[in-house]
Structure 1
C-alpha cells in the first residue's frame, strides 16, 4: 500500500465579538489543519494539526512541495514516515524551503494520525483496540470559565450552572488573568455551583511566578482541585514545577506547551507533575503519543491530553494510565467539536463512549468542512 495523494484544508472558526481569553492570550475558536491521505488500496485516513498561532507556515509548506515527500510512502509504516518528516527539522532542505521546526512538527503530527487511521481501517479495528484495548469509555471534563470582555461573576455563575445542568461532572476553569484574590473568588463560585461531588480542575496557562503560585496553592487547597495545570511561567518551568510540587498536595499537570516528546520526557524526569497533557495534534501524532503513554504508565503519571477529545480518546482508552479527555461543549468556543464529525462520540454523565468503527472511528462531515474549511491542495 502507498499514499497516492493528499488533500489539505485549513479549518477556521468565525470571528466572535467577545473572544475567549486565558491568562495571557486569546484562543481561536478553531485553527486546525486537516490532512486527508488517499492510498493505492482505496483507503482514506485523516489527521489534524492544531495551532494557537498562525497556521500560514504549515500551509505554505504544503504549497511548496512537502506533500511530494509524503506521497509514495507506506501509511502502514508510520514510524518510518514520522521519522522522515521529523528529521527534516535538522536538514538543509528545510532551511532552503523555509520550513520551520514547529511547522514540520505540526505536519508530522497530522500525517501520523492519518496513517494510524488508515492502519485501523486496513485491519478492521478501532484504534483504541489496536493501541491496547484497555477499555472503551473514558471520563471527560469541560473547559470553561474563560475571561471575556465585560464578563462578571454573575455571568460566570450562569455559565457553570448551565454546564452543570447539561450533566457534566468535571469542570476546568481559567485563572491567572486577574489578581490572585479575584481569581480565588472566581474559583469559589465554580466550586459552589458544581458542589462537592464534581471535579474542579484549574488552569493557569503559565501565568504565575513561583511566589504567586506558592501563595495560590495555599489558598486553593480548600477548594480541592483535581489538579493545577501549567501553574508557572515558561522560562524555568521545569525547576519551578519541581519546587512547587514540594509545597502543595494539589497534583500538578503540564505538557501541552511542549513541542516534542523529549520535552514531555523531561517533565516526567523531574518527577514534578502527576498528570501529563501532551497533544498528539501538536506534536508527534499517535506514534509519539503511544510512547508517552507507556512512559506515563511506567512512571505512575496520568495521561490526560490537551484538546481534541475525539482524537485523543482512543489513546486514553487504550492504557491503564489513561485519565481524562478535554471537551469543549460550547459551540461558540469550539464549533469543530460540535460539527466536524457525523458520528461524534457519545457523552453522558461525565463519560465518553468510543465508537467501534475502524481507525479513529470518526466520519468527517463534508458540510462542516465546506463551512469552516479552505482547501490548500
Structure 2
C-alpha cells in the first residue's frame, strides 16, 4: 500500500438508463430512437476508502464502452496509484493505443480519467476547477440543445418553450432551411441560434446551405461536412461560408484537435470530455485553443459526472463562453437539481470537492441496466 492510501482498489463500470421527456415525438441519434439516456458511469474506489466518479460516452455505444472498462481498464489499473493521474493515464493510453486512439477505448479512458480527477479534488478538499488553477465564475450560461423535430412547426413550438424557460440561446439538430427559419421567427432577433447538422452534407452542399442560412443569423454552423476529420474541406468552407463554423465532438483526442485548430477551419472547438479522453485531454485542448485564439464550446449532452466535469472546466476557463444542456426533462436526475439550468438559463458550478457532487445511490440502483 502507498503511504497516502491512494492505490486503486476497484474500478466498476455501471451502465444506467435515465428516463426523460422532451417537446417532440420519440427521436434519437445514431440510427435509433431513444427511450432512455444511456450512460457509462465509472466508480473508482481507493484503498483509503475514497470513491471517485467518472463517465465514459454511452448512448448507442454503451455496451462497448462498458466492456472496455470492465475487461481491459479495470485489470490494468487495479493497484495503481490514483494520485498519479498523468503517469497512469499516459501509460494506459500508450499501452492501449493499438486498439484505437478513439471510440470506446478512448471513451473508457476518459471515464477513468474523470474519476481520477474527482478523487484528486476530494483528496485535496476542493472543487475540480479550483484544483485546475482556480474558478473564475460560479454560474455558467447554458444553451438548450434540442433533439430533432418532425417539422418546422414543431421546431417553432419547442423554441418558444425554450425561451419561456429563461434561456438566451438554443441549438437545433435540423437539416432544412425551413426549420431554421421557423426557429428564428419564434425566437426573435435577440436570441442566439446555433445549428448542428451532425455531418449531413458534402462540401458543396455545405457551402450552398451556409449561404441559404445567412438571413437567419446563426452563431455557428456545427459539423457541416462528412467526414468530420476532413479539415481541408472545413477550412475551404470557412474561407467561403458567411457563417462561423464549429466542430469537435467526434475528434478522438488532443492530437486530432491540434490538427483541426492548426488548419484554421474552426471558429469554435467542441471537445466532449466523455469522448475525448477526460479532463486531462480537455485541458490540453484548452491550451491549444488559447494559443490559436479559438473559443471553446464543449459538447455535453449528458447528465452524468461528465456534465459536472464540464461545468468545473467552464468555471475555470474563460475560453468557454457557455455549455450545452440537453433540451430534455429528466424523470430520474442523478444529482437532483445539481447541474440543471435555473430560470435564467444559468447552471451553478457545484462547490463540493472533486466534481462537486456524487450520484444518488438510489437513482443509480434504480436506473442500472443489467
| Fold in common (TM above 0.5) | yes
Match of 1:5 in 2: 10
1:80 aligns with 2:87: yes
Match of 2:3 in 1: none
Equivalent position to 1:367, from 357, 362, 367:
362
- Which aligned pairs between 1:178-193 and structure 2 lie closer than 5 A? 183-193=176-186
Match of 1:328 in 2: 326
Match of 1:33 in 2: 40
Match of 1:358 in 2: 353
CA contact (8 A) 2:12 2:74 kept: no
CA contact (8 A) 1:145 1:156 kept: no
Alpha-carbon distance, 1:55 to partner: 2.5
CA distance in 2, matches of 1:302, 1:27: 32
CA distance in 1, matches of 2:347, 2:259: 30
Local SS of the residue matching 1:30: strand
Alpha-carbon distance, 1:175 to partner: 2.3
Match of 1:319 in 2: 317
TM-score (norm 2): 0.89
Deviations 1:307-333 (A, max 9, x none): 2343311112211211221101412xx
Match of 2:121 in 1: 120
1:43 aligns with 2:50: yes
CA distance in 1, matches of 2:323, 2:228: 27
Match of 1:180 in 2: none
CA contact (8 A) 2:193 2:218 kept: yes
Deviations 1:326-356 (A, max 9, x none): 101412xxx48x6111351352323222121
CA distance in 2, matches of 1:225, 1:101: 30
CA distance in 1, matches of 2:212, 2:102: 40
Match of 2:335 in 1: 341
CA distance in 1, matches of 2:28, 2:336: 29
Deviations 1:166-205 (A, max 9, x none): 11111000123xxxxxx11111111111112211011110
CA distance in 1, matches of 2:291, 2:355: 26
Alpha-carbon distance, 1:280 to partner: 1.2
- Which aligned pairs between 1:1-377 and structure 2 lie closer than 5 A? 1-13=6-18, 18-21=25-28, 25-26=31-32, 28=34, 29-64=36-71, 66-90=73-97, 102-132=103-133, 133-144=135-146, 146-147=148-149, 151-176=150-175, 183-234=176-227, 237-307=230-300, 308=302, 309-331=307-329, 335=330, 339-345=333-339, 347-348=341-342, 349-374=344-369
TM-score (norm 1): 0.87
CA distance in 2, matches of 1:366, 1:100: 32
CA contact (8 A) 1:139 1:323 kept: yes
Unaligned runs of 5+ in 1: 177-182
CA contact (8 A) 1:137 1:353 kept: yes
CA contact (8 A) 2:102 2:276 kept: no
* Residues 14, 351 of structure 1: alpha-carbon distance in 2 compared, 3 angstrom cutoff: closer
Local SS of the residue matching 1:20: coil
Unaligned runs of 5+ in 2: 1-5
Alpha-carbon distance, 1:235 to partner: 6.5
